[in-house]
Amino acid sequence: MLSLRGVAKFYGDRMVFKNIDLTVDPGRTLMVVGANGAGKSTLLRLMAGLSRPTAGEVSTTLAKAETAYLGHQTFLYAEATALENLSFWTGLHGLGLCEADLLAALERVGLARFAHERAGHFSRGMAQRLNLARVFCIAPRLLFLDEPDTGLDEASRGVLHAEIARTSQQGRSVVWVSHHLERDLPKADDVLFLEKGRAAYLGPVAGFDASVLSRSAAC
């Protein structure tokens, strides 16, 4: 459903990575790991179509509306309420959800009582929970997660992890950047380890020695 061939990214003359080849298949969860600055977020943004590679090709069989990205930016409209944001986003994905459906999604992330408050007044954690509600509603075929639990409390983190499990059980795919390897790696099928501008490992989680990460740099 998504493939990268010979992908490279440079900022000016500074190389972040090059020669990245990979495929994301239906029902697979790929975890992208590496030290700080290894290029994980940069790669995820390329895969999600939010930026372009300097060289190589990113191709997908999916329509934009079949994917969703949950990352550092929250993509919320500050002047719109939580409900309006959710209604707008699900509308863009062609979903005609009624208010009760949207409120149910807000309820799952503990935001129902803030449904009519402007997103601009939300804390980082609340904004992230609203984004999580967006992902629930869209149920994308390919979900991109960049350190998605940043700012989430324990309960919301549990909701997030349940959603990731549901995504893969339903044959949908996830590409996930995480620093919490001990906790998150067992939830993935495959790992891409970025080191020194290349894919130092790409394959099943079972064959990955996570201790190389702590040896390569503090993560």
The binding site for ligand ATP (CB under 6 A) comprises 11, 16, 34, 36-42
What token pair was written down for 55?
A: 């060289």
Considering the complex, state which of residue 75 and residue 88 has its C-beta at the smaller distance from ligand ATP: 75
Shortest distance in whole angstroms from residue 66 CB to ligand ATP: 24
- Of 143, 141, 39, nearest in space to 131 by CA: 143
The distance of closest approach from Cβ of residue 97 to ligand ATP in the complex, given in angstroms and rounded to an integer, is 33
CB count in 10 Å sphere of residue 39: 20
Of the two residues 11 and 98, which places its CB atom closer to ligand ATP in the complex? 11
Q: How far apart are CA 31 and CA 174, in angstroms?
A: 8
At closest approach, how far in Å is the CB of 100 from ligand ATP? 38
- Residue 95 or 185 with smaller CB distance to ligand ATP: 185
Nearer to ligand ATP, 39 or 140 (CB): 39
Strand partners, 201: 193
> How near is the Cβ of 81 to ligand ATP at its closest, in Å?
31
* Four-residue CA torsion sign, 43, 22, 201, 66: positive
Show Cβ contacts of residue 15 under 8 Å, excluding neighbours closer than 6 positions: 8, 9, 197
Greatest pairwise CA separation for the chain in angstroms: 51
